[in-house]
Amino acid sequence: MEKDSAVSWNFQGSNKVKESSTHSIARVVVEVMKNVTAGEKFIHLGIGDPSTIPCFRTAVAAEDAIIQALRTNTFNGYSPTSGLPLARSLRIQVFCTSSIAEYLSRDLPDKLSADDIYLSVGARQAIEVVLTVLARPGANILLPRPWYPLYEAFVAFTGVEARHFDLLPEKGWEVDLNAIKNLADENTIAMVIINPGNPCGTVFTYEHLKNIAETAEKLGILVMSDESYGHLAYGSTPFTPMGVFGSVAPVITIGSLSKRWFVPGWRLGWIAISDPTCILQGSEIVEGIKSNIDISSDPTTFTQGAVPQILEKTDAEFYSKTTSILKEDAEICWDLLNHIPCIACPHKPNGAMFVMVKLDISQLEDISDDMDFCNMLAKEESVIVLPGFILGMKNWLRITFAQEPSVLKDGLGRMKAFCSRHGKKK
């Protein structure tokens, strides 16, 4: 049967999808990796997934919890949309162990209950759910710069206006609170912070977080606190959850198993609402999160079933060992990067697994910008780092240092050799 040549087919995708896809770290890293010579052993300092690095293997207790959950034959079906009760709260019959609510409550003055917790398919889905719920016509949201591109992607998709406040490198990447006051208006719905910081590797002090909460209170907005790297702090500043200040301004916290246990493939995250003064009670925001969770995908049931044992049985030695390695890696970065003439490292990382460094293009002979630098570094030295433009910082670099210390030294040594080779001759 012949097709009617007069028919006009109209297939047109959403421009929002196209715009969102431009904010993808994975897409940029794939482009950089195309420059690596096939078969060449490369050093990956571009993406924060250390799960394949031997020194960052997850806790045996976490692996055992997954195996035990599978073998009970209890967790093969669907779970409730907000998550299994035993994963969200304690004292449910199967495992008398800790829950996410109690795990988070250890560091909070006001305890959370299961009703304050919503489980998600990793932190990524949690971010998407919250930003989707906050979106309304004409609204704007305050985002940090340098940013984590996932926020830019989801904000672009929802149509909310993104307004950016700077993180100040000269002040250890603290939030520019004066900028926030000037950016906010009656249509501002929330401000986002990431602590410990991706991409800056900073850990905010208790006092700075208190100032953030007080600023949010004055503006009448909530704080969305991404704590995916919670407790991965190894400097002089201890990790303080933003929920500590939930009585000052409502806090929606994003978290997951991915980073502290080095299991991003397990895909279990959470949304926690810290609002002891009940400002959000009965609001469209809370109801919207419930409704969105109801119609979205759930984390695997057996992973939920393993959560209580993972949280209780993982011993302190595992945590101290991994933060000790990250601290060693951070020291290596600080020492070696400061000896590369065209690179400036404004602040030693003391949390998460990243460091932001400024690239002085004027000192390089034949390199035009940060993307050019990353492509040529991959081609000549088989070292992958992330160009800063994707994080809103042109001619900066993000280096992921969660590596075996010896491998990290090798990678930074190759970067130094590359910079020396391309440096302008005096």
CATH of the domain at 48: 3.90.1150.10
Q: Would you say residue 291 lies in a domain?
A: yes
| Sign of the CA dihedral running 118, 121, 126, 128 | negative
Residue 90 has pLDDT above 50, yes or no: no
Take residue 398 and report the two structure tokens written for it. 């993000």
Task: Count how many Cα atoms sit within 13 Å of the Cα of residue 242 in the half-sphere of its side chain.
Answer: 34
Q: Would you say residue 142 lies in a domain?
A: yes
112 and 52 in a single domain? The answer is no
DSSP 56-79: GPPPHHHHHHHHHHHHTT-SSS--
Confidence of residue 130 (pLDDT cuts 50, 70, 90): very high
121 and 253 in a single domain? The answer is yes
- The CATH number of the domain holding residue 156 is 3.40.640.10
Rounded to an integer, the average pLDDT of 8-14 is 66
140 and 46 in a single domain? The answer is no
Its domain, for residue 176, covers 60-313
Q: Would you say residue 345 lies in a domain?
A: yes
276 and 329 in a single domain? The answer is no
Lowest mean pLDDT among 1-15, 84-98, 310-324: 84-98
409 and 370 in a single domain? The answer is yes
Q: Would you say residue 157 lies in a domain?
A: yes
Q: Would you say residue 12 lies in a domain?
A: no
Domain final position from 313, 330, 346: 313
Q: Rounded distance, CA 416 to CA 414, Å? A: 5
Residue 16 has pLDDT above 70, yes or no: no
Domain final position from 313, 340, 364: 313
Rounded to an integer, the average pLDDT of 234-238 is 96
Confidence of residue 95 (pLDDT cuts 50, 70, 90): very low
194 and 339 in a single domain? The answer is no
137 and 279 in a single domain? The answer is yes
- Give whole-number Cα distances, 259 to 123, 228, 297, in Å: 10, 6, 21
| Sign of the CA dihedral running 90, 77, 126, 44 | positive
Q: Would you say residue 207 lies in a domain?
A: yes
229 in Cβ contact with 258 (< 8 Å): no
Q: Rounded distance, CA 402 to CA 259, Å? A: 11
Report the number of distinct structural domains present in the chain: 2
Helix (H) or strand (E) run with residue 120 in it: strand 117-120
Domain final position from 281, 313, 345: 313
Q: Rounded distance, CA 327 to CA 408, Å? A: 13
Q: Would you say residue 42 lies in a domain?
A: yes
Q: Read off the pLDDT of residues 367-381 as tens digits, 9 standing for 90 and up.
A: 999 999 999 999 999
Confidence of residue 10 (pLDDT cuts 50, 70, 90): low
| pLDDT on residue 92 | 41
Rounded to an integer, the average pLDDT of 124-147 is 96
Residue 395 has pLDDT above 80, yes or no: yes
What's the pTM?
Answer: 0.91
| pLDDT on residue 22 | 60
| pLDDT on residue 80 | 67
272 and 353 in a single domain? The answer is no
Confidence of residue 163 (pLDDT cuts 50, 70, 90): very high
- Output helix, strand, coil percentages for the chain, rounded to the nearest 5: 45, 15, 40
Sequence-distant (6+) residues with CB within 8 A of 182 are none
211 and 253 in a single domain? The answer is yes
Residue 140 has pLDDT above 70, yes or no: yes
Q: Which one has a higher pLDDT value, 50 or 9?
A: 50
Residue corresponding to tokens 């991404």: 226
306 and 348 in a single domain? The answer is no
Q: Rounded distance, CA 211 to CA 120, Å? A: 30
Q: Would you say residue 9 lies in a domain?
A: no
272 and 305 in a single domain? The answer is yes
Residue 172 has pLDDT above 60, yes or no: yes
30 and 78 in a single domain? The answer is no
| pLDDT on residue 94 | 37
